[in-house]
A and B are shown apart, each in its own frame.
Chain A
Amino acid sequence: MIRSFSINEFYFLLSAVQWTLALSAIAFLGGAIAGLLIALGRTSPIKPVRLAATGYIQVFQGTPLLMQLFLVFFGATVLGIDMNPWAAAALGLTLNASAFLGEIWRGCIQSVPRGQWEAASALGLRYPGLMRYVILPQAVKVALPPTVGYLVQLIKGTSLAAIIGFTELTRAGQIVNNATFQPFLVFSIVAALYFVLCWPLSLLAARLEARYAAPGR
């Protein structure tokens, strides 16, 4: 039975936005925590730690996000873990985000001038204090615009979770389309909803960049 696209279908799409947002938020928070560890690992004075962090980043940047989601989803089944699409999507996106945020933040940490590291070391600060009180507060300012920019990528990336069966915005679009057979209309609305989520963030990233690119840095 073919239904026509009505306000109810629109509400269904709209309510799926919350799952896109929830998945984005979890992947971003998880990715931020793990990404900080990866960034610290990449800039560590200890070589094996640096190599391990580099390897991690290369694996996740060098393979498609969709393959990573597949591997987490089907890999869990192979290992005998019953993982639902929701958990698999959250874990896969978190791993992916941690690699990308780790690499972005590595650059920000290394952009803090060498003299700052030297002055802090000469004052007797050891690595944890040096990072916490001197380097990271300065790196955060540099990191803010590209991090918000990456969040936009992440929100759009959550659409791939539709393929492993997690009902977020894109999957909701597929479901509605299967019932209405109005793909152009349905996916136009889906795209518009993504745009409404992402556009303000893109504007914010641009504003932050203008603000922190001010002279004096």
Chain B
Amino acid sequence: MTLNDDRTEAPVPRSMSDEIIIRMEGVQKWFGDFQALKDVNLEVRKGERIVVCGPSGSGKSTLIRCINQLEQHQQGRIVVNGIELGAGARHLDAVRREVGMVFQSFNLFPHLTVLQNCMLAPLKVRGMAKDEAKAIAMKYLQRVRIPEQADKFPGQLSGGQQQRVAIARALCMNPKIMLFDEPTSALDPEMVKEVLDTMISLAQDGMTMLCVTHEMGFAKSVADRVIFMDRGEIVEQNTPEEFFSNPRSERTKLFLSQILSH
């Protein structure tokens, strides 16, 4: 962490409510013999910003992918926005409409323009009229500050621009929760900031966010809570101040020493 990093200077104000929007109880997940999640219990309040970190293979991506069921948990309960997951396709559709996701590799649709990428789900999932979908798409492209790229194809944009489009595309569904799966890990260093700035501005608007990231500056300035995972378990969770200055478990200390040492 350097002093001139402007991300740390103005902590984002807390905007949590007491309402629980995600509840995970005793969640277990296996890939074959490998146990990816071990008895995970987690409650997320509306408006809460959570950063999930941990070594690779620790289950952090699996954790957030269970929330919109890109991975199915095998035991335990997951309730999102009052809807229990695993209770049928209709419940799954309802949850996915409320949960946006941003991927490490952007996953924009290469055969569609930026605008069409943003309009697809509002048109085909929400059943919006074309004008309305376009207005919403342009609103969020403005929001991520690339409205002028609307008619380009994803392949014509830089990585940072693509990831901002991916954020806009998710926002067009007007989700209550946003999941970020290592959103800056595939970016060239000079593009990390533009994506983090977009995420910070989203946090300022009170979005409920779960971010798997190793951007510890982002965690310090934005997160209400940092969760550390290792070998499929939540090892430690705390406010960023406590988490970074006073880590309790040995595994956390080792992890922090590895990522903050240079």
Question: Which residues of A approach B to under 8 Å, CB–CB?
Answer: 113, 115-116, 118-126, 129, 133-134, 137-138, 141, 216
- List CB contacts (< 8 Å) of B130-187 with chain A: 155, 166, 169-170, 173
Determine if B120 is an interface residue (Cβ-Cβ < 8 Å).
Answer: yes
Q: How far is the CB of A101 from chain B (nearest CB, A)?
A: 21
Specify which chain A residues have a CB less than 8 angstroms from the CB of B170 in the assembled complex.
122-123
Contact with A along B57-93 (1 / 0, CB 8 A): 0000000000010100000000000000000010001
Q: B70 touches which one: A113, A121, A133 (CB < 8 A)?
A: A121
For the complex of A and B, the 6 pairs showing the least CB-CB separation, nearest first, are A119-B107, A123-B121, A115-B107, A122-B101, A124-B125, A124-B96
B105 to chain A, nearest CB (A): 5
**Hey, which bits of chain B sit against chain A, CB under 8 A?**
68, 70, 89, 93, 96-97, 99-101, 103, 105, 107-111, 120-121, 124-125, 155, 166, 169-170, 173
Given A118-B70, A118-B103, A216-B155, the answer on whether A125 and B109 have CB atoms closer than 8 Å is no
Instruction: Tell me which residues across on chain A come within 8 A of B166, comparing CB atoms.
Output: 119
Q: Can you name the residue of chain A whose Cβ is closest to the Cβ of B122?
A: A123
B125 proximity list for chain A (CB < 8 A):
123-125, 129
Nearest Cβ in chain A — how far from B175, in angstroms?
A: 10
A216 to B108, CA, bound (A): 13
A120 to B96, CA, bound (A): 10
A121 near B96: Cβ-Cβ < 8 Å: yes
Describe B's contact surface by its main secondary structure: mixed
Most chain A CB within 10 A, of B70, B124, B173, is at B124
Using Cβ atoms and an 8 Å threshold, which residues of chain B touch A126? 89, 93
Q: Which residues of A contact B109 (CB under 8 A)?
A: 116, 119-120, 134, 138
**Pick the contact of B173 from A123, A129, A216 — CB < 8 Å?**
A123
